[in-house]
Amino acid sequence: MIDRIKFYIDDVDLDTVKERLELRCSSKVAYDESERFEAEYKNLKIKYVGKRLQIEGSLHKFVKGNNYSLFTYEEAKEALCVLSKYIGISLELFIVSSIELAINIQMEKEIEKYLVILHSYKTHPFIYMPPMKGTSKLKGRKCHLAEYTIKFYDKTFEAIKKSRLPKDRWGEVPKNLLRYEIQLSRKQLRNKGLMNVTGKNLLSPLHYTRFKRLMNSIFDEIIFDDITINYSGMLEDDVKRYIFAKSERYDSYLQYLKEEKGEKEYRKERRRTNELLKRIAPLSKGEFQSELESKLELAMSEI
């Protein structure tokens, strides 16, 4: 569940870590013109600037060498302990400045079928992520909010392309792997009730449970637009409004209200539509959404 993470440790004496971490002087200069030192440990990047030590990278890759395989809570704890021992500093001094919570979900069909059903989260639309460099394939969709960013994308495709695996090794990556990912800063963690998160906190099963609960609660508020839904249990007027609200022209209508009728009418329409989408969500669940929900629950149980 914990993948990419960024720590900082303050008041670190350079002489106590320089030789241990094989820190080398960087050609880059810090904003305050102080010297900057850098090192790498496996896939993790380590920087030292102005008595602050920064560590950034994927804990999943640190342990497994990839981030498409299963990565459990016990493995994450072991990774943190190994890292603390290597750095030579207690985990309680590792301050989390950002964290990526992610889970890989094995699906039955091609990932594009699940990406197209993502509509919005708290009225914010899911938009397509740009293609990876050197390809034309749209690999995923994201919803960017002030508090955090939510992403769903084709992990199989991304893993093969980013790792530059030759074609005869593509079979090493599981097929139809959908990645569900949330990125949070330290401030955003506090807003979610996760105060003062440190490396030591992350050893606690309580924090892990709260991370799982957070991912589930965000997923539960996502509005889907599954073309396989059955409209027979919905009122005719609701069906009309539902189809219009899910159409590409709906954004143009909202823009018209905002410019011609004013902010009050615009907000009223958005609120009304959001209430409709939530009210009929149990009736508008299609084949792909149902599969995604059940597969997510299974994947959560395994980590």
Number of neighbours of residue 44 by Cβ within 10 angstroms? 20
| Percentage above 90 pLDDT, the chain | 50
Residue 223 has what pLDDT?
86
Q: Name the nearest CA neighbour of 223 among 169, 135, 150, 157.
A: 150
* 80: confidence class by pLDDT, cuts 50, 70, 90: very high
**pLDDT at residue 279 tops 90:** no
Q: What is the pLDDT of residue 140?
A: 93
pLDDT, position 150 = 94
pLDDT in tens, 192-247: 888 889 999 999 998 889 999 999 999 998 988 877 777 777 788 888 888 888 77
Does position 273 have pLDDT exceeding 90, yes or no?
A: no
Residue that wins the pLDDT comparison between 161 and 167 = 161
Q: Which of 93, 12, 6, 22 is nearest to 56 (CA)?
A: 6
pLDDT at 134: 60
Specify the range with the lowest mean pLDDT, choosing from 85-99, 136-150, 262-276.
136-150
Residue 74, sorted as left (phi over 0), alpha (psi -120 to 50) or beta, turns out to be alpha
pLDDT of residue 192: 82
Q: Is the pLDDT of residue 16 over 70?
A: yes
What share of the chain in percent tops pLDDT 70? Answer: 91
pTM across the whole model = 0.79
Among candidates 209, 228, 216, which has minimal Cα distance to 291? 228
At residue 32 the predicted structure's pLDDT band, cuts being 50, 70 and 90, is low
Looking at residue 251, what is its pLDDT? 84
Residue 169 has pLDDT above 80, yes or no: no
pLDDT of 27 higher than 80: no
Mean pLDDT of 27-32: 60
**Region 270-280: what's the mean pLDDT?**
83
Is 60 exceeded by the pLDDT of residue 164? yes
What pLDDT is attached to residue 160?
Answer: 84
Is the per-residue pLDDT at 187 higher than 90?
A: no
